[in-house]
């Protein structure tokens, strides 16, 4: 691929670079890249390799194998509070809450928080170390959240913090169906730390890392999971009546070079309830 005069353009070089990156080469901006893996077993076994109070490591908030520091956690919290404009009026559903590290801190701002995660071990850690009077933790999968804990009140906002990578496209749809059941699709959802399908080469950025990627892909243990393209998210969220707002991560976050945040807002957010048309655009 060359420019008009036969010389290579920057774009050509980027394309060549992508092409030279083995399985990462398919297109410059793939719609989605899925790596099937048994994530539930992975997370169920997490506490076998982490101590009781190694909270950052338990939820894999690590950088170069080391636990992330408080500054990194604070940057995540700032992005969540800002992305969802959280206040003391909010009932927050924290889906995939892990050990409650983030959940507990957000409970200081919200009226109530319910954390849900399918790892029984991490939920037990959350209950032991990250409890508060206005926090409830439930063990179960994201696409089968019961409505009982809400005591008649639907969550006003939902967070999925650094976990969408564990959902393939069909899993994301199942989750959005659950949200439709729980909230009528009428409240915003923030997905933080979504792996960007157009930035795989920024993550797998050395020969060694690319070789490791190939190995792990073959044996079903790719490190990240699902890498999302913006187009796919626009399409799927749109089907469920949400409009995505893509947000760059603060450059101080160590994941900023290959992940983004996205707030899914109900499209007719500003309409009063009675004037609101049926939300889901699926099947249209």
Ligand X SMILES: C[S@@+](CC[C@H](N)C(=O)[O-])C[C@H]1O[C@@H](n2cnc3c(N)ncnc32)[C@H](O)[C@@H]1O
Q: Is 102 in the site for ligand X (CB under 6 A)?
A: yes
Q: Hey, is 229 helix, strand or coil?
A: coil
Among 86, 75, 83, 137, smallest CA distance to 110 is for: 86
User: Is 59 a binder of ligand X (CB under 6 A)?
Assistant: yes
3-state secondary structure of 143: helix
Using CB under 6 A, pick the residue from 77, 79, 96, 264 that binds ligand X. Answer: 96
Cβ atoms of 254 and 263 within 8 Å: the answer is no
For residue 210, what are the CA distances in angstroms to 31, 143, 200, 206?
A: 20, 33, 10, 6
**Smallest distance from the beta carbon of 141 to ligand X, in angstroms?**
4
Instruction: Report the Cα–Cα distance between both ends of the chain, in Å, rounded.
Output: 40
90 touches ligand X by CB under 6 A: no
Cα torsion 162, 167, 172, 175 to 10°: value is -80
Site for ligand X in 184-213 (CB under 6 A): none
Told to check if 98 binds ligand X by CB under 6 A, we report yes
Taking CB under 6 A as the criterion, which residues in 128-167 touch ligand X?
Answer: 141-142, 161-163, 166
CB count, 10 Å around CB of 213?
21
The yes or no reply on residue 258 touching ligand X (CB under 6 A) is no
Judged by CB under 6 A, which stretch of 2-10, 94-102, 129-137, 148-156 contacts ligand X?
A: 94-102
- Choose the binding region for ligand X from 117-125, 195-203, 227-235, 269-277 (rule: CB under 6 A): 117-125
Show contacts with ligand X in window 27-46 (CB under 6 A). Answer: 39, 43
Q: Name the residues that contact ligand X, by CB under 6 A.
A: 39, 43, 59-60, 96-98, 101-102, 117-119, 122, 141-142, 161-163, 166
């Amino acid at each position: 691929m060359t420019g008009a005069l036969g010389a290579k353009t920057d774009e050509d070089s980027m394309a060549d670079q992508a092409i030279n990156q083995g399985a990462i080469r398919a297109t410059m901006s793939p719609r989605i890249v899925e790596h099937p893996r048994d994530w539930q077993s992975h997370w169920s076994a997490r506490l076998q390799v982490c101590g009781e109070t190694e909270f950052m490591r338990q939820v894999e908030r690590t950088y170069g194998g080391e636990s992330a520091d408080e500054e990194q956690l604070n940057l995540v919290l700032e992005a969540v509070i800002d992305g969802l404009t959280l206040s003391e009026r909010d009932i927050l559903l924290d889906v995939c809450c892990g050990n409650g590290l983030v959940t507990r801190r957000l409970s200081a701002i919200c009226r109530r928080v319910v954390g849900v995660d399918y790892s029984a071990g991490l939920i037990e850690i959350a209950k032991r170390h990250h409890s508060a009077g206005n926090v409830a933790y439930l063990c179960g999968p994201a696409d089968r959240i019961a409505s009982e804990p809400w005591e008649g009140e639907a969550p006003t906002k939902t967070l999925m913090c650094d976990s969408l990578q564990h959902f393939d496209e069909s899993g994301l749809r199942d989750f959005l169906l659950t949200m439709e059941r729980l909230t009528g699709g009428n409240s915003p959802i923030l997905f933080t730390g979504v792996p960007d399908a157009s930035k795989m080469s920024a993550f797998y950025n050395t020969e060694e890392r690319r070789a490791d990627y190939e190995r792990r892909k073959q044996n079903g243990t790719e490190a990240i999971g699902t890498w999302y393209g913006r187009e796919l998210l626009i399409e799927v969220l749109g089907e469920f009546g949400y409009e995505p707002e893509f947000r760059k991560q603060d450059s101080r976050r160590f994941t900023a070079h290959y992940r983004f945040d996205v707030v899914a807002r109900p499209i007719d957010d500003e309409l009063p309830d009675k004037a609101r048309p049926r939300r889901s655009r699926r099947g249209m």
